[in-house]
Structure 1
C-alpha cells in the first residue's frame, strides 16, 4: 500500500522534508548556544554585584604603549569583575556620552579618567546626569566636580562598545555617542586601559547628582523559547509528511477497492493506472 513512497515524486517530498527538519534542528541548536552564552553573561553580572573587589590588575592588564594607546581588552571571563583602583581624577579630560537613557529620560553618562600611580589611566563611568532643563538635547550639562586628591574606586569591568563613535572636543570636554575606547584613547595624554569601570563605590563619595547606570540582564529565556519553537517545527514537518503519506495511501486503497468491487465490462475502456 505504501509502495508509491518509492516513486521519484514522493522521494523528492521526503528529501525536502528531511532537509527542512534538519535545518530547523540546527536553528534550534544555534539558539541553544545563544541561550547558554547569555546565561553565562547574566551569571557574571550577578557574581560581579555580589563579590568583593579585587585589584585592577587581576582583571585588566596594564597598557604597554605610550600616550594615546589602548591596553588589552578584558577577557570574556573577566568582564563584569568588580575591581578596585586608586588614583587621581583628570577633570580636564572628562568624556560626555550623550543620548543615554535612564528611567525613560535621555541624558549623559560621564566618564572620567582615573590616572594611576604608574602613569596609566582607566576610564571610570561615574554615572548618569540629566540634561540642562529647557535647553537643547546637545547642550552640555553641568557636570559635578570630581574629588581633588587621591580617590579609591570600586567598579565592574566593562568592554568598550562595538562600532565607531566620533569623538569631538567642546569647551574642554570630549563628547561622543558610543564608548569607543580606541578613539577615546587617542584623545588622551596617557596610556589607557582596554576596559572601563562602571562605578559602584568611591572614596571620597561621589556627588549625589550622579545616577547609577542600570545594568540590564540579557534575555536568555527568549532564546530558550526559540529553541523549543524550532524543534517543534522540525517534529511537525516529519509528522506532517507521515500524515500526508498515510492519507494518500488510504486514498489509493479506496480507489482500488472501488474498482475491484465494480462489475467487469469488457466493452468498457481499459482501466487507467493510478498516477504516482
Structure 2
C-alpha cells in the first residue's frame, strides 16, 4: 500500500517536510536559549535587590589606561550586582540622557561621574527627572545639585548600552540619547569604569526631586511561548505528512472511495406494501 512513498514525488515531499521540521526545531531551540538567558537576567535582578553590597572593584575592574579610556565591561554574571563606592561627584561633567520614559512620561536620566580615590571614575545614574513644564523634550531641565565632599553610593552594576550617537556638550552639560560609556568617556578627563551604577541609596541622601529608575524584568515567558509554538509546528508538519500519506494509501487501495448512492426507486416493493 505504501510503495508509492518511494516515488520521486513523495520522496521530495518527505525531504521538504523534514527540512521544514528541522528549521522549526532549530527556531524553537533558539527561543529556548533566549528564554534561559532572559530568565538568568531576571534571577540576577531579583538577587541584586536582596544581596549585601560588595565593593565596586569586586564587580568592576578599575580602568588601567589614561584619561578618556574605558575599563573592562562587566561580565554578564556581574550585571545587576549591588555594589558600594565612595568618591566625589564631578558636577562639571553631568550627563543628561534624554528621551527616557518613566510612568509613560518622557524625561531625562542624570548621570554624574563619581571620582574615586585612585583618580578613575564610575558613572552613577542618580535617577530620572521630568522635562521642563511646557517645554520641548530638548529643553534642559533643572538638575538638582549633587552633594559636595565625599559621597557613598549603593546601586546596581549595569552594562553600557549598545549603539550610541553623538555626545554633545551644551550649557555646561553633556547630552546623549544612549548610555554608551566608551562615547561618554571620551569627553571626560579621567579613565571610566566599563559599567555604570544605577543608584539605590546615597549618603548624603539624594535629592527627592529624583525619581528612581525602575528596573524592568525581561519578558522571558514570551520566548517560552515561541518555543512551544515552533516545536508544535514541527510536530504538526510530520503528522501532516503521515496523514496525507495514509489518505493516499487508502485511496489507492480503494478504501477511501465513497459508496454510491442507493436508488430507492429501483428497490422492489416490500411485502408490507404488497
SS of alignment partner, residue 213 of structure 2: coil
Cα RMSD of the aligned pairs, angstroms, is 1.4
1:187-226 map, 5 Å: 187-226=187-226
Q: 2:71 maps to which residue?
A: 71
CA distance in structure 2 between the partners assigned to 1:146 and 1:234 by the alignment:
58
CA distance in structure 1 between the partners assigned to 2:96 and 2:138 by the alignment:
11
- The count of residues paired between Structure 1 and Structure 2 equals 258
Please list the CA deviations of residues 157-206 of structure 1 after superposition, one character each: whole Å capped at 9, or x if unmatched. 00111012210001110000001111100100111111000000000000
CA distance in structure 2 between the partners assigned to 1:27 and 1:234 by the alignment:
10
Q: 1:158 maps to which residue?
A: 158
SS of alignment partner, residue 254 of structure 2: helix
1:101-250 map, 5 Å: 101-250=101-250
Moved over 2 A (4+): 255-258
Unaligned runs of 5+ in 1: 259-276
- Kept in 2, the 8 Å contact 1:165–1:179? The answer is no
CA distance in structure 2 between the partners assigned to 1:109 and 1:53 by the alignment:
23
SS of alignment partner, residue 96 of structure 1: strand
Tell me by how many angstroms 1:136 deviates: 1.7
- Kept in 1, the 8 Å contact 2:60–2:194? The answer is yes
Q: 2:39 maps to which residue?
A: 39
SS of alignment partner, residue 62 of structure 2: coil
CA distance in structure 2 between the partners assigned to 1:192 and 1:212 by the alignment:
23
Tell me by how many angstroms 1:219 deviates: 0.7
TM-score, normalised to structure 2, is: 0.92
CA distance in structure 1 between the partners assigned to 2:141 and 2:70 by the alignment:
28
SS of alignment partner, residue 12 of structure 1: helix
Tell me by how many angstroms 1:26 deviates: 1.0
Tell me by how many angstroms 1:255 deviates: 8.1
Tell me by how many angstroms 1:257 deviates: 9.2
Tell me by how many angstroms 1:12 deviates: 0.8
SS of alignment partner, residue 247 of structure 1: helix
CA distance in structure 1 between the partners assigned to 2:104 and 2:199 by the alignment:
21
- Kept in 2, the 8 Å contact 1:82–1:155? The answer is yes
Q: 1:80 maps to which residue?
A: 80
Q: 2:48 maps to which residue?
A: 48
- CA distance 1:253–1:91, change in 2 (3 Å): same
CA distance in structure 1 between the partners assigned to 2:251 and 2:205 by the alignment:
82
Please list the CA deviations of residues 118-152 of structure 1 after superposition, one character each: whole Å capped at 9, or x if unmatched. 11100000000001101121000000000111100
SS of alignment partner, residue 211 of structure 1: coil
SS of alignment partner, residue 188 of structure 1: coil
Tell me by how many angstroms 1:78 deviates: 0.8
CA distance in structure 2 between the partners assigned to 1:257 and 1:213 by the alignment:
69
